[in-house]
Amino acid sequence: MDTFDGEVTDEDLWLQVLAGDGRAFGVLFDRHRDRVFGHGLRLVQSRSEAEDVTAVVFLEAWRCRARVRIIDGSILGWLLVTTGNVARNHLRSRLRYQRLVRKLPPSDDQPDHMDAVLDAHDTRTRQRSVRHALAGLSARDQQVLLLCVVEGMPTADVSQLLRIPPGTVKSRLSRAKQHLAHRLAAGAATQASPAMKGESS
Amino acid sequence: MTHEEPSGVRFSPDRSAAIRKLLVNVPEPGTPENKLLQRIQRVWIVIPVVAGSLLLTAGAVVAIQAQVTNTDHVNCFARAELNFWGEFPGTRVTLLEGTIGESEGGAVPITDALALCSDLWAQHLLDATLPSGVSPDPVDRTFSYPVPDPLTVCVMDDGMAAVIPGGPEVCRRLGLAERSG
């Protein structure tokens, strides 16, 4: 078991990682795996791909360790931004780490049980519509929309992460929402988007 | 905050454990994972369009076999066409590493040419209907575009692999060697 206190900040853990402590990297993975995975799952098509993306995001954190940005003691924002980039460059990222990722066990993606499929059908239909509409947005619009709305990150944090003024974040977010709404309305499925419900200011 | 995983999909426990084990080794000096990542600074794919106006070569009459001796690049053909100057519809792929410290960088050997070109097809980087064979559109990250079946690996005069739509006869038809072994 790793013995890091639960109150140790990401920043402290990251310093340990930089000093060569692999256990600290494991704790960071435990802490943020699900958020990174969930974010990746919105951008790729399968669980196994999202798992690969998650692995690559953490490997990228190590590779780009000199440039990792910690905001308010948390590495999560940087990981989420990187998740978007990795998902967009899935092939390139996979090739970069192919010698490591190939060592991982294959995904055990299984068809869902019928009851679960029926229960989830409506949700999945909506999610497919949103995912399709999202895919039609520019990379910059996708990024701001996912970070601000879906992940609920404050405008100020997104501003710091993306190195753009807060006003630009807001205007880009407004434009992204308009584009998303337009695309959803134009699509076959016009149900309300879960992504549009979760905004925090 | 709304950060539930879509559809309640969960990370596979086995893969999670494997990834965690991998990551724990990454920062530890001396581990294989640490050594490998110390060498990797930047890898990217170079995709020049090499097709000009195309004239189909006359097929060579003698079937020869050769080994791939140049794994720095792979030629992914969009159609089974090759002109006198060695131009073809499609793309050449190169994988590069930079350097950190005193370690050497350079081209990363591409050991699975077929898988690499298949990925480009699946992402719609290759399009047989276009003169250049290369789509100008952004790649499709869903990997949902069809991959020609079969694809065959031939060997070009310079020892590079060429992955070409068609069966084993396609190498001979274009005057290329079949891959041996």
Q: Provide the pLDDT for residue A125.
A: 64
Selecting from B18, B24, B37 the residue whose C-beta is nearest the C-beta of A26 gives B24
- Looking at residue A76, what is its pLDDT? 93
Pairing of strands B70-77, B160-165: parallel
Instruction: Express each pLDDT in B83-132 by its tens digit.
Output: 877 788 888 877 655 433 333 445 567 778 888 888 888 878 888 998 88
Burial class of A106 by CB neighbour count within 10 A (0 to 12, 13 to 18, 19+): exposed
pTM: predicted TM-score of the whole model, two decimal places: 0.52
pLDDT in tens, A10-36: 999 999 998 899 999 999 999 999 999
> What's the pLDDT score for residue B18?
87
Mean residue pLDDT of chain B comes to 75
ipTM score assigned to the predicted complex: 0.70
Chain pair A-B, CB pairs under 8 angstroms: 137
Residues B37-48 have pLDDT tens digits of 765 543 434 344
Q: How far is A175 from chain B (nearest CA, A)?
A: 21
Between A55 and A94, where is the model more confident?
Answer: A55
Whether the CB of B19 is below 8 Å from some CB of chain A: the reply is yes
Average pLDDT rounded to a whole number, residues B58-70: 70
Q: Per residue in B132-159, pLDDT tens?
A: 888 877 666 566 789 999 999 999 988 9
- In the predicted structure, residue A141 carries a pLDDT above the cut 50: yes
Full DSSP string of B143-158: --SPPPSSEEEEE-TT
Q: How far apart are CA B12 and CA B142, in angstroms?
A: 20
**Measured between beta carbons, which residues in chain A are less than 8 angstroms from residue B18?**
103-105
Minimal Cα–Cα distance from B173 to chain A, Å?
31
pLDDT one-digit tens code per residue, A61-86: 988 887 788 888 899 999 999 998 88
> What are the C-alpha distances in Å from B120 to residues A24, B11, B113, B114, B178?
37, 27, 11, 10, 22
Contacts of A201 in chain B (CB under 8 A): none
Question: Which chain A residues have a beta carbon less than 8 Å from that of B7?
Answer: 120, 123-124, 127
Residue B77 has pLDDT above 70, yes or no: yes
